[in-house]
């Protein structure tokens, strides 16, 4: 059932003489023309707030005002100056980049204990605005803040900003003039909102915190139901404890906020569960509410207020407001309605479920995000016939300045006009329907909407059925893990869509029954972000690209786990909150008794393993996992593609870990091996020297006699040098080295070990089925040629180390040789 919106007696949705009726201003020129516009309103158009028929379009009004001359009239000089200053302020905040020089001479005689900005004779307006701009954008990179400075603050947004400046100016008027002006502004805005949202005979309360209106309503009900509350206070509540009912789908912390502000115990709050058998699982269970009210009344309690949703904060569903209103009339309970779907009351056709909200005792409207108006107050419309009680509850005020809260809305509503307001709400609803139509074609996307034909809020999630992901269903589904795994994937999906299409305004929401979902709520975001149909198309395109990754990852998780279990050196780390294949840890073989050192070794090996995996040319991401996650010292594998070879991936990880472990052990044992080699070479050289002494005799050792004997009868015995092979740990003679050098006539260049990291086809990634695969490198593939073996003197295939033939190596020589055994 639909209800048409009655036409207004305005030209194009505006009011005669209003901003909407006199044309669209430019952002810069509107401040200069504002005094002229205000003077024209003072002299004429006494019936500008009365509704009437719609006789012309907005475009016709624009053309008419372009042709009509602007009437010049004397204006208030203070008002003109204010408009000029505001224009300069906006220009500096948006475009200005001004260098402010320090006035050192002026501050020379200032007190040192006075903060810097307050020293001296004060700063000019431009300097202060420059400081505001630096605080707003100082932490952002150059050029990046321009697209974020004030998202989609159009001319209607500037009108709202102008309202705050006007409120400060109007507050200094004389009391009588201020009273008349504020009464006019408040009455006009209240009438317009009641007509816009079909709320007859209503009053309005304007507040900054969107919960404050409900708080004042609860105080009004307490004053109404407890006659002596104004004089006796909380003591009268002891006879009958008040009860406030709210839906389980209400926004988080609302009931606790009311109890804290009203001074009531939490026992006064009753949360009504949602439907479990019939109807939407995000709607209040009316039958259960009826039983709860009866039980409370039988126990001597007094039901006061029922808080219902016209668009729940999570899924955007509307309670059965008609049935709830009947219960409230039956038990004399105040019905309060809030929610984003109340915005659709401005449309020409409204669903019957939302239309029932117009019969509620009060409703809260958040016009700022709905219409893209910055810094405008929320509005609570209510019906009550006793103004004294409304004043006691704080819903009305005798202070004229309090009534100026409505001024930004008063200006903005006139500027937009009826057509502009309806167009923004209709545009948001059409965006939701556009996305919903595309999501119906996605096989792995499940939507959670109240009405397939008309749903202002679209909630969806990736959901892989058991037939598609049989391996996951058999292993994880039976243990209740599938829900948590899919929640992590949907959380990643939502965060990814926010990054890729920020103008869409999607966010991540956790629902009790469905789990983690992605929400598209253009009524709250489209007017602020400027969301268009192209943004929705881009969102669908990105979603189409990501869904296959989610499906492949969910399907391959179990296979990845099973492959890890086949390797003794690998440990599978269970982290259901990780949106990817999973986490893996390499466990090096260690006989170290100290647990701390073993942990350090595990950390080092896995850190090097992660670094090597990141260097591979693959379509996989490797990371250390969540920053504040419980699992450390492991490698987290990200999203997988459909053609991923899981067995080859796990085999590669195991091979790389083994190579890193062996390379690390080789480097750790290098000092001991080199020291042993030097000691062994020293012993062998000492034996060779003693043997030479025995063969040649003592006479050959005397300097002069030995030289003469060597000339007459040369000795054939000599002490051969020694070479030490670092890779084999063996000590050999230098005879093969010198023989090879003599045959080749020069030094043989060292052989360079080749690192066989991968053998893949050009243009293909690693770990893909049917493409080039990874070949495990040898034990020295991660060392440079100098790290594999180091030698002194000529080298051949044995990569030996020749030592000089000395009778005895002194201690200094030994230390020098030890210093030479090093790995660069």
Instruction: Compute the distance between CA of residue 775 and CA of residue 651 in angstroms, rounded to an integer.
Output: 10
Element (H, E) at 520: strand 515-520
Locus of tokens 């609803």: 429
CATH number, residue 313: 3.40.640.10
Show the tokens assigned to 805: 């033939």
Instruction: Compute the distance between CA of residue 97 and CA of residue 423 in angstroms, rounded to an integer.
Output: 36
The residue among 617, 645, 609 whose CA lies nearest residue 759 is: 617
At 527, give phi and psi (nearest 5°): -70, -30
- CA angle (278, 284, 288) in 5-degree steps: 80
Say whether both 314 and 368 belong to one domain. yes
Strand-by-strand arrangement of the 635-637 sheet: 570-573, 582-586, 635-637, 622-623
**93-102 pLDDT tens trace:** 556 444 444 5
**741-760 pLDDT tens trace:** 655 554 444 444 444 444 55
Q: Is residue 815 part of a domain?
A: no
Q: Is residue 296 part of a domain?
A: yes
Per-residue pLDDT, 118: 76
Structural domain for 277, as ranges: 209-397
Helix axes 58-67, 407-439, angle to 10 degrees: 140
Higher pLDDT, 774 or 647: 647
**Does the pLDDT at position 213 exceed 50?**
yes
Say whether both 535 and 574 belong to one domain. no
Say if residues 575 and 582 touch (Cβ distance below 8 Å): yes
Q: Is 570 helix (H, G, I), strand (E, B) or coil?
A: strand
Say if residues 338 and 313 touch (Cβ distance below 8 Å): no
* Mean pLDDT of the region 787-803: 35
Say whether both 544 and 444 belong to one domain. yes
| Beta strands 515-520; 269-272: pairing state | unpaired
Structural domain count, the chain: 3
Per-residue pLDDT, 729: 59
Report residue 469 CA to chain centroid gap: 29
The last residue of a domain, from among 490, 516, 550: 550
Q: Is residue 556 part of a domain?
A: no
Instruction: Say what percent of the chain tops pLDDT 70.
Output: 66
Q: Is residue 499 part of a domain?
A: yes
Say whether both 496 and 532 belong to one domain. yes
Q: Is residue 811 part of a domain?
A: no
SS (H, E, C) 627-673: CCCCCCCCEEECCCCCCECHHHHHHHHHHHHHHHHHHHHHHHCHHHH
Helix axes 646-668, 595-615, angle to 10 degrees: 130
**692-737 pLDDT tens trace:** 777 666 666 677 766 776 776 676 656 667 676 665 556 677 667 6
Per-residue pLDDT, 458: 94
Say whether both 365 and 450 belong to one domain. no
Task: Supply the mean pLDDT for the chain.
Answer: 76
Instruction: Compute the distance between CA of residue 518 and CA of residue 448 in angstroms, rounded to an integer.
Output: 10
The last residue of a domain, from among 649, 664, 679: 664
CATH number, residue 508: 3.90.1150.170
Stated pTM of the model: 0.72
Where residue 642 falls among pLDDT bands split at 50, 70, 90?
confident
The last residue of a domain, from among 550, 576, 605: 550
Say if residues 364 and 210 touch (Cβ distance below 8 Å): yes
Q: Is residue 503 part of a domain?
A: yes
Beta-carbon neighbour count of residue 541 at 10 Å?
13
Beta-carbon neighbour count of residue 388 at 10 Å?
10
Say if residues 537 and 453 touch (Cβ distance below 8 Å): no
Per-residue pLDDT, 798: 34
| Beta strands 570-573; 582-586: pairing state | antiparallel
Say whether both 526 and 574 belong to one domain. no
Say whether both 499 and 583 belong to one domain. no
Say whether both 629 and 658 belong to one domain. yes
Say whether both 374 and 460 belong to one domain. no
Say whether both 390 and 433 belong to one domain. no
Say whether both 221 and 350 belong to one domain. yes
Q: Is residue 716 part of a domain?
A: no
Q: Is residue 582 part of a domain?
A: yes
**Neighbouring C-alpha atoms within 13 Å toward the C-beta of 604:** 14
Question: 169, exposed or middle or buried, with CB in 10 Å at 0-12, 13-18, 19+?
Answer: middle
Say whether both 233 and 352 belong to one domain. yes
Instruction: Compute the distance between CA of residue 726 and CA of residue 739 in angstroms, rounded to an integer.
Output: 21
**Does the pLDDT at position 52 exceed 80?**
no
């Amino acid at each position: 059932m639909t209800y048409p919106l009655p036409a207004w007696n305005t030209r194009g949705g505006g009011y005669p003489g209003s901003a909407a009726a006199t044309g669209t201003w430019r952002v810069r020129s509107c401040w200069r023309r504002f005094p002229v516009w205000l003077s024209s309103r003072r002299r004429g158009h006494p019936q500008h707030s009365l509704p009437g028929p719609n006789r012309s379009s907005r475009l016709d009004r624009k053309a008419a005002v372009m042709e009509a001359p602007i009437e010049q009239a004397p204006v208030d000089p203070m008002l003109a100056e204010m408009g000029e200053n505001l224009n300069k302020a906006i220009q500096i905040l948006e475009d200005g980049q001004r260098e402010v020089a320090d006035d050192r001479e002026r501050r020379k005689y200032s007190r040192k204990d006075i903060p810097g900005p307050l020293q001296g004779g004060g700063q000019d307006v431009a300097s202060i605005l420059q400081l505001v701009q630096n605080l707003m954008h100082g932490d952002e990179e150059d050029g990046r803040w321009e697209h974020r400075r004030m998202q989609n603050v159009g001319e209607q947004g500037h009108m709202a900003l102008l309202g705050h400046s006007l409120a400060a100016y109007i507050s200094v008027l004389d009391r009588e003039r201020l009273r008349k002006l504020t009464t006019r502004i408040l009455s006009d805005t209240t009438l317009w909102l009641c007509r816009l949202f079909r709320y007859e005979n209503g009053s309005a309360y304007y507040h900054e915190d969107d919960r404050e209106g409900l708080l004042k309503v609860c105080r009004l009900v307490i004053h109404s139901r407890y006659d002596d509350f104004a004089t006796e206070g909380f003591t009268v509540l002891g006879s009958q404890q008040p009860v406030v009912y709210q839906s389980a789908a209400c926004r988080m912390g609302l009931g606790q906020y009311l109890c804290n502000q009203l001074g009531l115990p939490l026992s006064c709050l009753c949360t009504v569960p949602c439907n479990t058998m019939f109807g939407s699982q995000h709607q209040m269970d009316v039958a259960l509410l009826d039983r709860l009210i009866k039980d409370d009344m039988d126990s001597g309690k007094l039901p006061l207020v029922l808080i219902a949703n016209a668009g729940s904060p999570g899924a955007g569903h509307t309670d059965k407001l008609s049935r709830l209103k009947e219960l409230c009339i039956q038990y004399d309970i105040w019905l309060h309605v809030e929610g984003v779907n109340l915005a659709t009351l401005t449309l020409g056709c409204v669903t019957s479920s939302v239309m029932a909200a117009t019969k509620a005792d009060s409703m809260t409207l958040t016009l700022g995000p709905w219409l893209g108006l910055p810094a405008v107050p929320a509005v609570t419309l209510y019906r009550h016939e006793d103004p004294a009680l409304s004043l006691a509850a704080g819903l009305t005020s005798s202070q004229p300045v309090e009534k100026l809260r409505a001024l930004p809305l008063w200006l903005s509503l006139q500027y937009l006009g009826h057509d502009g307001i309806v167009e923004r709400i209709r545009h948001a609803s059409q965006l939701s329907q556009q996305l919903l139509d595309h999501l119906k074609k996605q096989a792995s996307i499940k939507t959670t909407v109240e009405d397939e034909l008309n749903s202002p809020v679209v909630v969806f999630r990736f959901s892989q059925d058991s037939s598609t992901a049989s391996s996951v269903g058999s292993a994880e589904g039976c243990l209740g893990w599938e829900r948590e795994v899919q929640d992590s994937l949907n959380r990643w999906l939502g965060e990814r869509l926010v990054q890729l299409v920020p103008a869409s305004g999607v966010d991540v929401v956790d629902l009790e029954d469905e789990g983690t979902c992605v929400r598209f709520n253009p009524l709250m975001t489209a007017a602020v972000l400027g969301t268009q149909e192209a943004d929705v198309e881009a969102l669908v395109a990105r979603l189409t690209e990501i869904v296959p990754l989610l499906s492949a990852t969910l399907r391959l998780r179990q296979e990845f786990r099973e492959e890890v279990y086949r390797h003794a050196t690998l440990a599978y780390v269970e982290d259901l909150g990780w949106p990817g294949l999973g986490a893996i840890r390499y466990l090096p073989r260690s006989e170290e008794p100290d647990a701390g050192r073993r942990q350090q070794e595990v950390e080092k090996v896995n850190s090097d393993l992660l670094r090597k995996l990141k260097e591979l040319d693959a379509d996989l991401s490797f990371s250390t996992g969540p920053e504040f996650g419980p699992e450390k010292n492991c490698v987290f594998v990200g999203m997988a593609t459909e053609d991923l070879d899981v067995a080859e991936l796990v085999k590669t990880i195991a091979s790389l870990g083994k190579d890193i472990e062996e390379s690390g052990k080789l480097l750790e044992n290098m000092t001991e091996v080199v020291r042993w080699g030097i000691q062994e070479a020293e012993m062998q050289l000492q034996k060779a020297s003693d043997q030479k002494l025995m063969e040649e005799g003592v006479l050959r050792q005397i300097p002069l006699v030995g030289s003469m004997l060597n000339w007459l009868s040369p000795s054939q015995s000599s002490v051969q040098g020694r070479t030490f092979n670092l890779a084999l740990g063996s000590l050999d003679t230098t005879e093969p080295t010198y023989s090879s050098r003599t045959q080749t006539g020069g030094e043989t260049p060292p052989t360079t070990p080749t690192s066989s990291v991968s053998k893949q086809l050009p243009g293909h990634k690693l770990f893909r089925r049917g493409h080039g695969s990874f070949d495990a490198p040898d034990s020295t593939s991660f060392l440079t040629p100098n790290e594999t073996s180091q030698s002194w003197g000529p080298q051949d295939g044995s990569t030996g180390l020749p030592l000089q033939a000395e009778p005895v190596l002194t201690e200094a020589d030994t230390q020098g040789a030890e210093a030479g055994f090093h790995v660069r």
